[in-house]
Amino acid sequence: MSGYVPNPPKGYRNTGVEPVDLNAQHWAQYKDLPPAPDTKPDLKGCVFAKSCNLPDGEINHSNPTGFVPVEKLTDYGLWAVLATGAAITAEGTSLQFVGGSATGSAIAQRLGGSLALGLLDGAGAMAAGAAVGTVALLMPNTSIAPDSAFYKDEQYATLETGRTRVRVNVKTLPDGSVNAYGFYTGGKKDWENVPVIKAQKNGEKFIANIGNGIGLTWTPAASPDGVLGIPALAGAPQLPPVWVYPPTPQSDTLLANPAHPPEFQDAIIWFPEDAGLEPIYIVLSTQLEKNKAAGAAFEDEAYSGFSEEMEESGQQVTIKTQSGTRTRLDMIGRDANGDIACIECKASETAPLTRNQKRAFPEIEQSGGRIMGKGKPGFPGGTQIPPTRVEILRPPQK
**pLDDT digits 0-9 by tens, 56-75:** 999 999 888 889 999 999 99
* 366-388 b/e (C-beta count within 10 Å ≥ 16 → b): eebbbbbeebbeebeeebebeeb
Residue-averaged pLDDT of the chain: 84
Sequence-ordered alpha helix ranges (H) in the chain:
104-111, 124-129, 249-252, 289-309, 355-367
pLDDT of residue 128: 46
pLDDT at 22: 35
Looking at per-residue confidence, does 102 or 227 come out higher? Answer: 102
Q: pLDDT-derived band of residue 251, with 50, 70 and 90 as boundaries?
A: confident
Beta strand pairing call for 312-320 and 379-380: unpaired
109: left (phi over 0), alpha (psi -120 to 50) or beta: alpha
Asked if the model's pLDDT at residue 89 lies above 80, the reply is yes
Whether 344 shows a pLDDT value over 50: the answer reads yes
The answer to whether the beta carbons of residues 78 and 101 sit under 8 Å apart is: yes
Among candidate residues 351, 290, 285, the one with its CA nearest the CA of residue 15: 351
> 181: helix, coil or strand?
strand
pLDDT for residue 175:
62
Q: Which residues contact 201 (CB under 8 A, 6 or more apart)?
A: 272, 275
Q: Which residue type, as a one-letter code, is found at position 136?
A: A
Mean pLDDT of 77-93: 93
Query: Residue 63: what pLDDT?
Result: 84
Confidence of residue 282 (pLDDT cuts 50, 70, 90): very high
Mean pLDDT of 273-295: 81
pLDDT score recorded for residue 40 = 47
- Split at pLDDT 50, 70, 90, the class of 21 is very low
> Which pLDDT does position 19 carry in this prediction?
35
31 burial class (0-12, 13-18, 19+ CB within 10 angstroms)?
middle
pLDDT at 388 > cutoff 50: yes
* Report for 110-119, 216-225, 233-242: range of highest mean pLDDT: 110-119
Nearest CA to 341 among 315, 375, 372?
315
Tell me the one-letter amino acid at 62. S
Region 2-25 average pLDDT: 44
